[in-house]
Structure 1
Amino acid sequence: MLNFIKIMLFYRYMDPFIRGDYPESMKKNVKGLPEFTKSEKALIKGAYDYIGINYYTSRFVEHTCTVDPMAGTITININERIADDEGNQVGLQAKGQDGIYVRPDGLKNLLVYVKEEYGNPEVYVTENGIPDKPTITSSIQDLIAQGKNEELSAALDDYYRIEHTQDHLIAVREVIREGANVKGYIVWTLMDNMEVGAGYDVRFGLNFTDYFDNHKRYPKKSDKWYANFLNADGTKEGSLK
């Protein structure tokens, strides 16, 4: 599963860094695109320390081709889809943000693409996570005092995030074993915070931020799991390291 439309955007930035110039498709179709001089090409090529990739979701893509014999034209369209021809969704829809569908092998496919297309540069997965949007009506301490166990569980028992993180770490491990130069993986995010375009309602954090009580932080189940994972002996059976 490869999100082809996002790849089309990705290579606009990657080609100059790896090849020293914009891709030919851009030079043909983007009006006013500046041209690099020979010295600028030499300067920009390889001018990176590592490639950082943020990954959250994937899409199916639909390719259509329309021929107009009278005009002598061929029109090609590539459109995103969340379901295939049989109606199967690309993945489980995340809670809190409609546009995120969980697809761990999409991360693997993206990393394989970077490895094969761009000469296996050093890569870090700089963001990967899953949102939630629980209903929380008061502070954690008040929820405890009031016995609102369902809200407490919604706030802190994020087992779905553990599964999500584990599945994506497995995808990273698989691509490393296939030779990809992936050096690190970072979960988004350490704690709940303001998410661009979504405000404070959507929560990605490993730690719960209590907006009703001076932004106190409480570790979620995922925080404890991730800490144990990072501290695990890499030789232990079952470790993802």
Structure 2
Amino acid sequence: MPTPLPRDFLFGTSTASYQIEGGVTAGGRGRSIWDDFCDRPGAIADGSSGAVACDSYHRWDEDVELLHGLGVDAYRFSIAWPRIQPDGAGPANAAGLDFYDRAVDALCKAGIAPFATLYHWDLPAALQAKGGWMARETAERFGDYAALVADRLADRVAMWIPVNEPVVATLFGHAIGLHAPGESRGFEALAAAHHLLLGHGLATRSLRAEGVAAIGTANNHTPVHAVSEADEDVAAAALYDTIHNRAFAEPILLGEYPNGMGDGMPGPVAEDLTVISSPLDAYGVNYYNPTLVGMPGSPGTAAARAAVPDQQVQLEVPDGIPFQLVPVPAREYTAFGWPVAPECLTEVLVQLRERYGDRLPPVHITESGCSTHDVVEDGTVHDEARIRYLDQHLDAVADALDAGVDVRGWFVWSLLDNFEWAEGYTQRFGLVRVDVEGDQQRVPKDSYAWLRERIREIRSPG
């Protein structure tokens, strides 16, 4: 058994603006790339959008009551850039700032520390029309936007996270086109990766200038394993590890790109890396599952693909990409088809400490959770699979602490069932069920009650 978590361990939950807010035309909000992407036929699994979502724009106080009842210390939410700057530039939209001002006040009044993410993928559509994250100007405008928000909220937000999961925005949004803006550029998408990282650095400098309390990250990390010990498969796995993990951690933590990647990045890369590597107070890790990788067409890859259960979705990579992702064999899978592998969260955390040593700030698990096949019974949801998942992953965090990793907090994804990007409303991650097809009524699940009691146990003296 791992050592019990310390009594001052930080507990929270996470959400994102486009996934929960709704109110896409309220308060002067401009259009985002996700509004446009959802209009594309076939882009979203169920044809839905975040136009209403959980309606948190109008139900924020209700969500705060749920957070207070849960007993968490912090709430990680995101600010919709199109609410603050409808066109992605210029003066702030007063109604947008007022909304988040009230939102932060409500959290503080309830004794919940606000953790604000500035960008969780809802880029103003007007900036996409000028090139989006493929253009350097977007990173520069992001620094301006950060200053506007911090000028209003710096005195109350406990932690600022400039960019959520730049790797996912790059790979899914610009390399293979599964997310907004729906571009399939392959390796050309690395320009977007650099500009997202530059945006992180410029926003960090803007936030520091406003005297904010603390700044962190929310980087998606996955342990990458080769399908076999063959040199070609090991090399393919190492390349994917570089692209998914190291290319987004090392510019921030070390001020350099791994394996010469900086040679292909746009702009004055050396100068940009000085900005990107501005010091941080925390390093956020979003973890969901490990990744199995081989060389396309190799014997090891063919054998691994043949062993995949029929119900597991196989992600096909475009021609010319020198690695193939293969679903990981597991004892259990989430409703999304992701393998349940809590030991790999420990692996990720230990690997970060081993790779970066003293350059790694204290760590928060900024997202940890799963989708399950929820069924309403007796007016609630008995989500034993989610409870088991969360319990195992919290133990994995304790194992990382035992191994010497300085982990300070854990945020469950997610507080609410919400709009799950390209999957629409077909995947439910929430501790609280939301009737997204009806009146957005909130119903706490069994996992909500479990987490409330787990927090109380850890807080209890003796």
**1:91, CA displacement in angstroms?**
4.4
**CA–CA separation in structure 2 for the residues paired with 1:101 and 1:233:** 28
Match of 1:226 among 429, 451, 457: 451
Give the equivalent residue in structure 2 for 1:145.
none
Choose the corresponding residue for 1:24, options 237, 247, 259: 259
Check conservation: 2:374, 2:382, Cα contact below 8 A: no
Alignment match of 1:9 (pick from 227, 244, 263): 244
Distance 1:53 1:118, change over 3 A: same
Q: Does the Cα contact within 8 Å between 1:157 and 1:221 map onto a contact in 2? A: yes
Question: 2:284 touches 2:363 (CA, 8 Å); kept in 1?
Answer: yes
Taking structure 1 as reference, are residues 221 and 180 closer, same or farther at Cα in structure 2, changes over 3 Å only? same
Shift of 1:190: 0.9
AA at the equivalent of 2:324: N
Contact 2:384–2:446 at 8 Å: present in 1 too? yes
Instruction: Report how far residue 103 of structure 1 moved.
Output: 0.8
d(CA) in 1 for partners of 2:432, 2:346: 26
Return the offset for 1:63: 5.7
SS in 2 for 1:214: coil
Inter-partner Cα distance in structure 2 for 1:14 and 1:203: 29
Deviation at 1:127, TM superposition (A): 0.8
Confirm or deny that 1:82 pairs with 2:303. Answer: no
Q: Which whole-Å CA distance do the structure 1 matches of 2:386 and 2:440 have between them?
A: 21
State which structure, 1 or 2, has the greater radius of gyration over its C-alpha atoms. 1
- Which AA in structure 2 matches 1:60? L
- Paired residue total: 203
Match of 1:216 in 2: 441
Sort the Cα spacing of 1:26 and 1:90 in 2 relative to 1 into closer, same or farther, 3 A.
Answer: farther
Equivalent position of 2:291 in the other structure = 59
Deviations 1:155-186 (A, max 9, x none): 60001111000000000001011111211111
Partner of 1:94: 334
Hey, what does 2:354 align to over in structure 1? 116
Secondary structure of the residue aligned to 1:224 is helix
Q: Tell me if 1:167 matches 2:402.
A: no
CA distance in 2, matches of 1:55, 1:235: 28
SS of alignment partner, residue 180 of structure 1: coil
Q: For structure 1, list consecutive stretches of 5 or more residues without a partner in the other structure.
A: 67-75, 84-88, 136-150
User: Would the alpha carbon gap of residues 177 and 235 (structure 1) be closer, same or farther in structure 2, given more than 3 Å must change?
Assistant: farther
Instruction: Measure the CA separation in 1 of the matches of 2:409 and 2:367.
Output: 10
What letter corresponds to residue 293 of structure 2 in structure 1?
V
User: How many Å separate the matches in 2 of 1:41 and 1:25?
Assistant: 13
Q: Corresponding residue for 1:126?
A: 366
Counterparts in 2 of 1:217 and 1:154: CA distance versus 1, 3 Å: closer
Q: How well do the aligned residues superpose, as a CA RMSD in angstroms?
A: 2.9
User: Match for 2:257: what amino acid?
Assistant: Y
Q: Quick one: structure 1 residues 7 and 219, their matched pair in 2 at CA, closer, same or farther if it must change by over 3 Å?
A: farther
Shift of 1:80: 2.6
CA distance 1:36–1:47, change in 2 (3 Å): farther
Does structure 2 conserve the Cα–Cα contact (< 8 Å) formed by 1:82 and 1:90? no
> Secondary structure at 2:392's aligned position in 1?
helix
The alignment partner of 2:443 has SS state of strand
What amino acid sits opposite 1:10 in the alignment? N
Partner SS state of residue 427, structure 2: coil
Q: Deviations over 1:62-86 (max 9, x none)?
A: 36899xxxxxxxxx95433225xxx
Deviations 1:5-41 (A, max 9, x none): 355322112111222122233135x3x543434x554
In 1, distance between residues paired with 2:399 and 2:281? 23
- Structure 2 distance, partners of 1:233, 1:105, is 21
Shift of 1:2: 2.3
How far apart in 1 are the matches of 2:262 and 2:441?
51
What SS does the corresponding residue of 1:93 show, helix, strand or coil?
coil
User: Kindly tell me: are residues 21 and 57 of structure 1, through their superposed partners in 2, closer, same or farther at Cα, counting changes over 3 Å?
Assistant: same
Scaled by the length of structure 2, the TM-score of the pair is 0.40
Output one character per residue of 1:187-208: Cα deviation in whole Å (capped at 9) or x when no partner. 1111211111111221111111
Instruction: Report if aligned partners of 1:209, 1:216 keep a CA contact under 8 Å in 2.
Output: yes
Quote how far apart the aligned CAs of 1:153 are: 6.5
Percent same amino acid among aligned pairs? 27
> 1:101 is paired with a residue of what secondary structure?
coil
Q: Pick closer, same or farther for the CA change 1:35–1:16 going to 2, 3 Å.
A: same
Aligned with 2:422: secondary structure? Answer: coil
Work out whether residues 59 and 90 of structure 1, in 8 Å CA contact, stay in contact via their aligned partners in 2.
no
- Where in structure 2 are there 5+ consecutive unaligned residues? 1-221, 225-236, 299-320
In the aligned structure 1, how far is the partner of 2:276 from the partner of 2:419?
34
Distance 1:63 1:181, change over 3 A: farther
